[in-house]
Amino acid sequence: MIPGRVLDVSALVDIAVAKTRYSRHVVAMCLYRGGGLCVPSTALAAVYSIAPLDTQAELFDLIMGPGVTIDDLTAGKAPDIGELLDGANDVVAGHVVWCARNTHWPILTDRGDHLTLLDPRIMIDPIP
């Protein structure tokens, strides 16, 4: 399987609050095997807005680690993401799918059905 993952809001929340062990295990294995993690900045902002303050240190440690790339939503990406959304208003989902398209990595998420509506060709690693 492809060594990297794009982390959606649900994966970041799962990591922050340790809801399941699955996301933490996948992240650890990706990094251990020399793969990488892509964290869309829009997803990170959404998580910081909802995650309890005491869990945010866990996220900070993750995103500052080696092998982790924070993908910023730039003006250059905005037209592509807007086209991808095709009238939908979930900018975070569009950014996550854009990152998956560009890295060719699966998205670690619990909302794969929603994301594949934006692009049925993306790969999903579902959080159980």
How far apart CA 35 and CA 118 sit, in angstroms, is 25
Going by the DSSP 8-state scheme, the letter that residue 39 receives in this structure is E
How far apart are alpha carbons 37 and 44 in whole angstroms?
13
* Residue 2 banded pLDDT, cuts 50, 70, 90: low
- pTM score of the predicted model: 0.93
Q: Enter the DSSP assignment of 28.
A: H
pLDDT digits (tens, 9 = 90+) for 55-104: 888 788 888 889 999 999 999 999 999 999 988 889 999 999 999 999 99
